[in-house]
Amino acid sequence: MSYFRPNIDAMEGYTPGEQPKGDDFIKLNTNENPYPPSMKVYDAIREEVNTNLRKYPDPVCQAVRDKAAVIYGLTADQIIVGNGSDDLLTMICRAFVSEGELIVQPYPTYSLYEALAQIQNAKMKSIPFTEFNHLPEDLAVPGAKVTFVANPNSPTGTVVSFEELSEFAGRIKGILVVDEAYVDFGERNSLPLVQEHDNVIILRTFSKSFSMAGLRVGLGFAHPGLIHGLMKVKDSYNVSRISQAAALAALEDTEYTEAMIGRVRSTRGRLVVALQVLGLHVYSSHSNFLWVRCSQPSAKSIYEELKLRKILVRFFNHPGLDDCIRITVGTDDQTDTLIDALKDLMG
Ligand SMILES: Cc1ncc(COP(=O)(O)O)c(C=O)c1O
């Protein structure tokens, strides 16, 4: 006998990338930034720890919203803050999708969307990409309450155009979530959609470009009416004091973040060339990772061989994904070690 709802019993649960114990791995499997956050973030955390921990945090993260509003050219009532963007994804499913209703995603994409649909006991329809840089033609499914589009996508790192997303948002009846977790590593974002469409939610995270995956902060941008509704379903104090202070400090030092993004981009360019020289097919990346097709040796054996050499990349043991590995762009030194290991094992 089980105490759980049948859909919870039936689901496997989201599998996050491996987090090995100890520091002896070069960790290129979960798209973390290889550089630390701004020193201002550390200062803000220290200050917060020393003064305010006994008090609850601001439930609506007003200081972060005000600062983000200035930086992103929005108003604070168009912004919600989450405990990572995963928290915002949970709120979205809770707020817009009842049991048995429909969520749509292109495939492949971020696998948490599917897990959240299962928790909600919603139906998930996955529409395969035919080309990674275009939305699938039949993505507009009648009755879909929410459509998730990660842009840049994971695990492919590819993007679809702003124009395509805008046209799609105008055509569907439900909510379009554009998950821009990796957008800062690309060239263009979809922020103007929020001003043009009242059914679009754009998600950002501090986990990637701001190097703060351990702190868990995400932003959602949308029409004030949507933000107001999402506020009703969030946990009451969903972002800790430390995380709010850190996020504010990070937004006050975007110059630093820009500089680190520049380093990641330049290492990405070098890594692409090195992988191509090794004969591997690399998909065009607008993010801080590369989706790399392998044939001889297989993706699985490259993943395993790299792991033996203490380099962790991501291998997805799923049909349609198991001929590729996903490699996070690390520091220059980490990248050199990776390239040497690949030369060794492919040579
Ligand atoms: C596409 C995508 N969206 C959201 C997230 C989650 O980000 P966060 O750390 O803000 O929860 C990830 C994490 O890897 C991701 O790949």
2-12, pLDDT tens digit by residue? Answer: 999 999 999 99
pLDDT at 180: 98
Q: Which of 32, 87, 207, 329 maximizes ligand 1 atoms within 8 Å of its Cβ, making it the mutation to test the pocket? A: 207
Domain boundaries along the sequence of the chain: 17-36+255-346, 39-252
Q: How far apart are CA 258 and CA 38, in angstroms?
A: 11
pLDDT at 20: 84
**CA nearest ligand 1 atom 12, residue:** 181
151 Cβ inside 6 Å of ligand 1 = no
Q: Could you read off the pLDDT of 45-54 as tens digits, one per residue?
A: 999 999 889 9
Separation of CA 206 and ligand 1 centre (Å): 9
pLDDT at 251: 98
Q: Letter for the amino acid at 346?
A: M
Average pLDDT over residues 316-325: 92
Task: State what percent of residues in the chain have pLDDT above 90.
Answer: 93
pLDDT at 316: 93
Output the 3-class SS for 71-96: HHCCCHHHEEEECCHHHHHHHHHHHH
pLDDT at 319: 86
205 Cβ inside 6 Å of ligand 1 = yes
Same fold, 17-36+255-346 and 39-252: no
| Main-chain dihedrals φ then ψ at residue 95, nearest 5 degrees | -80, -30
Q: Beta strand pairing status for 26-27 and 311-312?
A: parallel
Q: Could you read off the pLDDT of 157-195 as tens digits, one per residue?
A: 999 999 999 999 999 999 999 999 999 999 999 999 999
Residue 97 DSSP SS3: coil
pLDDT at 23: 80
pLDDT at 84: 98
The pTM for the full model equals 0.97
Per-residue pLDDT for 287 more than 90?
Answer: yes
Q: Which CATH class is domain 17-36+255-346?
A: alpha beta
Give me the chain's average pLDDT, please.
96
Q: Could you read off the pLDDT of 231-278 as tens digits, one per residue?
A: 999 999 999 999 999 999 999 999 999 999 999 999 999 999 999 999
Per-residue pLDDT for 199 more than 80?
Answer: yes
Average pLDDT over residues 315-344: 95
180 Cβ inside 6 Å of ligand 1 = no
Q: How far apart are CA 95 and CA 288, in angstroms?
A: 31
Asked if CATH classification 1.10.510.10 holds for the domain at 39-252, the reply, yes or no, is no
Q: Could you read off the pLDDT of 125-149 as tens digits, one per residue?
A: 999 999 999 999 999 999 999 999 9
Separation of CA 12 and ligand 1 centre (Å): 19
Separation of CA 298 and ligand 1 centre (Å): 27
Average pLDDT over residues 282-287: 97
* Tokens at 152, concatenated: 């840049």
- Torsion angle of the four alpha carbons 208, 161, 323, 128, in this order, in degrees rounded to the nearest 10: 120
Q: How far apart are CA 113 and CA 111, in angstroms?
A: 5
Q: Is 209 exposed, middle or buried (0-12, 13-18, 19+ CB in 10 A)?
A: buried
**Sheet of 281-282, strand order:** 281-282, 289-293, 324-328, 314-315
Contacts of 124 (CB under 8 A, 6+ apart): 102, 103, 104, 105, 113, 114, 117, 118
